[in-house]
A and B are shown apart, each in its own frame.
Chain A
Amino acid sequence: MNLYLDAGILCALVVLLACPFSKWLARASWVTRSPRAAVALWHSVGMSATLATIGAGLCVASERFHAGFVGGVGELGEGVASGHPLQGLGLPDALGLTLAADVGVVLFSVVGVVILRTVLARARHRRLLNLLATPSQSRAGTLTLDHPSPVAYCLPGIRPRIVISSGTVGLLDQAELTAVIEHERGHAHERHGLVMLPMTGLTEPFRWIPYARLAPAEVAGLLEMAADDHAARRHDSTSLASALVAMSTSAAPPRCAFALASHDVNARVHRLLGPDRISRTAAATTGLLCAAALVAPLAVLFSS
């Protein structure tokens, strides 16, 4: 019945998930054999750590009621509802409440602001595309941008836009071009822009947390692999791999370091050319880890 003990277990779970587990997951190459499940796992780890932190704060704050977690939080809620939330509050209770409230408010406001900025930037990009890109006659559902740099991308949104520059059309042969468009359709179809949204903006304010540093880049890389799989199912993986090599080796020289991103390209090409791109075992294992990550904090909270 000791909620302080539960709070300790939850804090240990947060540290475990955000530090060693995240580092391990970022290094685990087998998860790339089921990229979509791996993306779900990164999200589950983030949700579980957030839940556990808020839960730990609430545990500390409601220990004084000696009514277990559910009862204690209930009494805490009654105090808030009756207008005396701070009545009888000692130092540990206050600290616990502060932790729970701060994590909730800071996380959701910081991430919320970045999400809003991203959505606005996407809207501006879409407005400019409407003026500068023309719907392609030969490739249905894509926009052509008249520019010599080889670029191909998907602008997420309610109606995602797939943009191919004239430089790309000149660089790739027909099979490669089809593969690239299928890859972008994968992003559009599986709503990768939406999947990526909660991850955007985590890195900069929370650089000191391994999860926040690793998860956005890892999820972005895994989503590329998921889109590669979408294209490989409908087209062939060799064309996609050769398109990837052509595009990544011929674009204009970068102005800043791309060490991380180039590592992604390398991994993707070798994955596309390799024998075992997808594995059901990897998907099942990842799914189990997802469930375990989500159930762990809830089990601790509701067992007391």
Chain B
Amino acid sequence: MAGLGELERRVMDVLWGSIGKPLTGREVADQIPDRAYTTVLTILDRLRRKNLVERSTEGKSHRFAANASRETYMAELMVEALGSVKDRRAVLVRFAAVVSAEEAVVLRQALEALPDEPGRKKP
């Protein structure tokens, strides 16, 4: 299944590279030459069911476009990752929260008070 995820990422990259200009399945497949046309169509359909890709019909051909830009999705991830949302829904477990400037001084002092060890970066 890891292969599918990788392929989905490549298809999205193609669509993100063509913002404002929906592509046909053939045009997407042309940019992923190591995979069969039908495979690319399957992936486009999967992405459409996940609501990441929208399909429009012009005459006989379908055209595909990303639902939102890469930056929009990245922003959504970072909002959760940085925890700048109010709700603490515990979607993820983040490593460190941001501290105030005064606390930062105290924390750095605590580190500096330690005896020097080789290989440790000076703060």
In the complex, what residue of chain A is closest to B77 when comparing beta carbons? A128
Q: Do B93 and A269 touch (CB < 8 A)?
A: no
Q: Categorize the interface residue count of chain B.
A: 35 or more
Q: What is the CA–CA distance of A131 and B50 in the complex, to the nearest angstrom? A: 12
A interface secondary structure, majority: helix
Residues of chain A having any CB pair with chain B under 8 Å: 114, 117-118, 121-122, 125, 127-132, 134, 145, 147, 149, 151-156, 163, 165, 173, 175-176, 180, 183-184, 187, 192-193, 196-197, 199-201, 203, 216-217, 220, 223-224, 227, 238-239, 241-242, 244-249, 251-256, 258, 261-262, 264-266, 269-270, 273
B103 and A242 within 8 A (CB) = no
> Is B36 at the interface (CB under 8 A from chain A)?
no
**Is B107 a contact partner of A245 (Cβ separation < 8 A)?**
yes
CA distance A173 to B103 in the complex (A): 22
Asked if B92 contacts A244 (CB within 8 A), the reply is no
Q: What is the count of residue pairs linking A and B with beta-carbon distances less than 8 angstroms?
A: 169
User: Would A238 and B9 be within 8 Å (CB), given that A127-B50, A200-B90 are in contact?
Assistant: no
Instruction: Contact check, B89 vs A121: say whether CB atoms are below 8 A apart.
Output: yes
Min Cβ gap A77→B in Å is 37
Chain B residues engaging chain A, CB cutoff 8 angstroms: 5, 8-9, 12, 50, 52, 70, 73-74, 76-78, 80-84, 86, 88-100, 103-104, 106-108, 110-111, 114, 117, 119-121, 123
Shortest distance between the CB of B91 and any CB in chain A (Å)? 5
